[in-house]
Amino acid sequence: MELKGKVALITGAASGIGKSTALLFAKEGAKVFLTDINEEGGKTLVNQIEESGGEATFLKADTSQSQDSEKSVAEAIKKFGKLDIAVNNAGIGGPQKPVGEYEIEAWDKVISINLSGVFYGMRYQIPAMLKNGAGSIINVASILGSVGFANAAAYVAAKHGVVGLTKSAALEYSAKGVRVNSVGPAFIKTPLLEGLDEELLSHLVNAHPIGRLGEADEVAQLFVWLASDRASFATGAYYPIDGGYLAQ
């Protein structure tokens, strides 16, 4: 029960890495406040956690809207009394097009969810954690927060931004008890990869020296450590979990 007595807010919790994180955090004793635009998936997940003896609640929220981030924090505190952990996980892939052909509207949407959404989250999570005198924020970046990837300019730019935003926040708040870190998963078997053709999927597998794609639960295991007191000296860092992708 690594996180017993802790309250965690997880965005993008209805599927993929967010869902695995919610399940594992609850198993480790945390009370989890879950948000997503997928209301049906979120409520199903709450039922799954409660049936396993955990505590969870769900709020439909869009991280690209600052008022939704403010409401999420307020409702989490109203429900559970405090906020100890935040996992800013919600994100989208966006279209696959070169920069010179990338639609402006698509760019704005990816940046608003993947980058501004993380800022909006921290903007309200940090003041709540300061009231406790402690907290851990985990921002989900990507290996593409460290390197480029053709035909994914908005995603790459947003994830690089998340890494930088994380470092700045850590410098500002670590001495006040709020640790802020980012995680860089490689390509993980989640709904974000659904719809890719077999040739591209095979290429992605071969891009990982470990010889496979990652599992969402493997990423969630790293989140548990970062959220726990075992990671008390870990802040301002970027943690790839990538099957060797960035070692090449």
The answer to whether 128 touches 82, Cβ cutoff 8 Å, is yes
Q: Find the catalytic residue in 102, 155, 239, 245.
A: 155
Structure tokens at 27: 């198993």
Q: Which residue has the tokens 């809207």?
A: 65
245 catalytically annotated:
no
Distance CA 113, CA 119 (A): 10
CB atoms within 10 A of CB 121: 28
In DSSP terms, which residues pair with 185 in a beta bridge? 241
By annotation, the residues acting in catalysis are 155
